[in-house]
A and B are shown apart, each in its own frame.
Chain A
Amino acid sequence: MSSHFSLKSLAFYAVAIGSVVTLFSIVSAYGEKNLKAPPAISGLYPIAATALPDCLGSQSLILHIQQSGSYVSATLKPNSGSESESATAEEKHPLSGRFTNQQVTLRGPVPNLPNCQSQNSAASASIRGQFANKTLTGEIQLSSVPQAIAFTAKQEAPKPVSADH
């Protein structure tokens, strides 16, 4: 045990731990200064009923985006009003895409909009948007509807279903 605290060992630990702390400080300083992660875009985006296609009736939509940096996935579904409370991180999001330079692109099926599916295939959608000031502005292209649907939606933080831990 005594040999463990010999000068040689202590010098080794000082050098080893010192080098790692130095390396971490350099990496950390470099990262903080030069690396920019995309802004937080996760959340719920309620899309008002105005200008929505007939297949939705009078229903408004909600876009739930889950973000992993520049990789995003999302679910587009009718806004039942209680969505903001039940949105969960455990939900599987069928739309997937990227978020780079404030631009969001999402593509994939929209199984929650059965009325909007075309005769031969399941409903799918592609979404493009610009994110600024916690607002997403863009358009949704549903496979069964020829015209793109323009939208502007404000970001709402989903109430976490789970506790903090």
Chain B
Amino acid sequence: MHTVVLVLVEILIVIGLSRLVGAGCRWIKQPLVIGEIVAGIMLGPSLLGLIAPDLAGALFPAETVPFLNVLSQVGLIFFMFLIGLELDPRYLSGQLEIAILTSHVSILVPFSLGSLLSLLLYPLVSNGSVSFTAFALFLGAAMSITAFPVLARIITENNLQGTRLGTLALTCAAVDDVTAWCLLALAIAVTRTNSMVGAIPTIVYSLLYIGFMVTAGRWLLQRLSSHYDRAGRLNQFVLAGIYMAVVVSALITEIIGIHLIFGAFLLGAAMPKNPGLVREIAQKTEDFVLIFLLPIFFAYSGLRTEIGLLNSPDLWLLCAAVVAVAIIGKYCGTYVAARVSGVENREASALGWLMNTRGLTELIVLNIGLSLGVISPLLFTMLVIMALVTTFMTSPLLEWTYPKKLIQLDMVDAEPTVAAGGAADTPAYKVLVPVANPTTQKGLLQLAAEIAGTRLQTAVVHPLSLIQLEEDYLFESTPIEADRVIQIQRQRLEEVIQSLEPPELRSLVHPIVRISNDVARTTAQIAEIDRANLVLVGWHRPAFSKNRLGGRVGQILSTAPVDVAVLVDHNQLRLEKLLVPYATNIHDDLGLELALRLLLNREHRQLTILQIAVPGQGSSETSYEFRSLMAQLPVSVRDRIDIQTVEAANPVQAVVTASESVDLTIAGTSRAWGIERQTLGRYTDELAIQCRSSLLITRKYSQITSHITSAFADTDTLLKPQEDNSGVEA
């Protein structure tokens, strides 16, 4: 087969497998990078070469390897440019003193331990052509790495970007990243000249080039930024210039004697952080680099990783020592420095695990080391295992030390939950409203605010907007970019909140905006943490679907550990006439409770309670609780309630008929109304289809008998001051 054809076939396999394994890793809540590294290893001698050596030889013959190498180097150069581009000085804004101290100690400790470990490893896994100094320097650098890009994604995914821990970890990682690259450049210079003294000219040239980039280079790039501001977009001519500059900068650092990647990184880092310019360069560059070229780098790296080289227990022991030194060095360095700086125990521990993320950056360093011959294939394999273990363990250990529940609790607590009337105490009634599109869900927010109201207990409405990010390394999932998206969404919510009527309802509404990969689960978690009394979900009638309450709404209905109400909105903002079909079950009780809340919160609202008597089965008796509740209500409220009992063979049709003259029908998820609770509307949500008004479907969480009277037990006392003010007699 022609070499080019073979290389293209290889690329197909590489991209396909890395996406597949990457998706598997996302499924088990691991970063995509783990899947891509594993996919690369699977294609190499560790798996494919082991189980099907002939196939491996035919698919990845020696003559195609240089092509993969060139493609992976091009990918790496542009990836490093993107990393540099992402390195925003704004990351250095939070707790700089603690961050600098912690990140320096988190480099110094593993570096020192790595140097000491090299005393053991050098005679065993290196050879005479490599000087001990270069070996020790390289091993120390490899131990000190923290992968800023992977860490940044883990932080965004866990919604940590706004927290103290998140900003601290990001600042530490950014400082670590720059320091580790400098250390690596030094290690390369020493390796290439095989002595510290010989490396001095390279170090001097490197410093001169860095100086050039931060002065003249930055001046030029600033002009580019000004041009972008004027033009408002990047045309292909300018982009070609930027890409050429990336390659030129890479070549200069290669000629200086460090490595191609440093030039690309330096140019990205020196680029002015004009948000529009950075976003457009990143968006135009990242898809091809991340989808096409980077997996080739992983595959190339995987072809060089041979786990079979670890063929004896003593070698596995050495490997364990390498992994242990890397983890202990990074964790202890970070933890102790953070504790000394006054960071509390749990956060310091979480920071220690976060800083252990080595991922892709480590792999870049190791491949350079192997190519230079400073690390042997055996040590390369051990260090790849170390990179995999340290990246893999980050998410579960972070969850262990700093569970998502606690993170969300911290964030929910941080939200401004000023109760109605300006009181700062915890609101007694909380409504959580998942909102996907604020502009089309104003009715939902209005209803939530009306249910919460200002007349009963202190209440708060939390519109919850969860933003799902698609890919691991995409620019949009960087913490700063994620923050920008959150701010935009918050702004949109705020606009809708400010349009709510009457104006006093607006002060009840406090949005929560988060990043989440599982909207239903996160909603349920936040509902539990926030101790919400009600989750109010919106549901648009789909044109063609049999399962009206399926999908995300169905998931929320079945997983949220609180009462849930689903609004099937008819775009009616009026909420004057309410209808509650009532059949004495806990879900109808919730419906009645919400209807009464609406009634109590607005003076002219009317409520019709519809009881259905099936012909031949006698009239349905109201419960004692129902009667005592009615008796307990103030006269001004009771006067607005019309209790009707109708005889109907088909209760659903009776409700549909009654719904023609009301604004909102509130029905429990009971079989009586054609809304099957267990199946969540798979086949019996007849009412949801036929109802003539907007429909609010209620589902009580607690399966025990509802004590509806208790919900309004202190209605009198709650209402009195309000009614006195409004002049309504109780």
Contacts and interface: CB of A to CB of B under 8 A. Distances in A.
A155 interface: no
Interface stretch (B59-67, B239-247, B348-356): B59-67
Contacts of A1: 96-97
A161 B65 contact: yes
Interface stretch (B376-384, B510-518, B546-554, B630-638): B376-384
B97 A20 contact: no
Contact of B124 (A66, A70, A111, A164): A70
A124 interface: no
B127 A28 contact: no
A66 B124 CA distance: 14
B73 to A, nearest CB: 6
B308 interface: yes
A39 B128 contact: yes
B708 interface: no
Interface in A37-51: 37-42
> What 9 A-B pairs come out closest when comparing CB atoms?
A68-B378, A31-B132, A68-B376, A69-B125, A92-B45, A90-B303, A40-B129, A86-B62, A39-B128
Contacts of B119: 27, 30-31, 35
Contacts of A31: 118-119, 122, 132-133, 135-136
A40 B258 CA distance: 24
Interface of B: 44-45, 49-50, 53, 56, 60, 62-63, 65-66, 69-70, 73, 96-97, 100-101, 104-105, 108, 111-112, 115-116, 118-119, 121-133, 135-137, 140, 259-260, 303-304, 306, 308-309, 311, 315, 367-368, 370-371, 376-379
Contacts of A163: 66, 69-70, 73
Interface majority SS on B: helix, strand, loop or mixed? helix
Nearest to B302: A90
Contact of A9 (B45, B101, B368): B101
B204 to A, nearest CB: 19
Interface in A60-90: 66-71, 73, 86-90
Nearest to A99: B127
Contacts of B127: 37-42, 67, 69
A100 B465 CA distance: 65
A27 B136 contact: yes
Given A36-B128, A162-B69, A66 B377 contact: yes
A54 interface: no
A96 B310 CA distance: 10
B63 A161 contact: yes
Contact of A69 (B70, B111, B124): B124
Interface string A1-35: 10110000100110011001001100110111001
Contacts of A4: 96-97, 100
Contact of A27 (B69, B115, B131, B259): B115
A6 to B, nearest CB: 9
B376 A67 contact: yes
B379 A68 contact: yes
Interface in A88-111: 88-92, 96, 111
Contact of B123 (A17, A37, A68): A37
Contacts of A41: 127
Contacts of A9: 97, 101
B131 A32 contact: yes
Nearest to A73: B309
A24 B62 contact: no
A88 B128 contact: no
B97 A3 contact: yes
Nearest to A69: B125
Contacts of A68: 125, 309, 376-379
Nearest to A163: B69
A155 B50 CA distance: 28
Contacts of A3: 97
A131 to B, nearest CB: 11
11 contacts: A1-B97, A12-B101, A16-B108, A17-B104, A20-B111, A40-B127, A68-B376, A69-B122, A69-B379, A164-B371, A165-B368
Contacts of A165: 69, 73, 259-260, 367-368, 371
Contacts of A42: 127
Contacts of A36: 123, 128
Contact of A90 (B53, B60, B96, B124): B60
A71 B315 CA distance: 9
Given A3-B97, A13-B104, A40-B129, A86 B63 contact: yes
Contact of A32 (B50, B63, B133, B315): B133
A80 to B, nearest CB: 13
A27 B199 CA distance: 19
Contacts of B108: 16-17, 20
A162 B115 contact: no
A92 B132 contact: no
Nearest to B109: A20
Contact of B125 (A28, A71, A91, A111): A71
* Most chain B CB inside 10 Å of its own CB: which residue of A28, A39, A73, A163: A28
A12 B108 CA distance: 13
Nearest to A71: B378
Contacts of B111: 20, 24
Contacts of B370: 89
A31 B123 CA distance: 9
Given A68-B378, A69-B376, A90-B44, A161 B130 contact: no
A90 B123 contact: no
A3 B342 CA distance: 15
A68 B260 CA distance: 26
B527 to A, nearest CB: 41
B104 A16 contact: yes
B83 to A, nearest CB: 17
A90 B66 contact: no
Contacts of B45: 90-92
A92 B123 CA distance: 24
Taking each of A3, A31, A70, A87, which has the highest tally of chain B beta carbons within 10 Å of its own beta carbon?
A31
B100 A71 contact: no
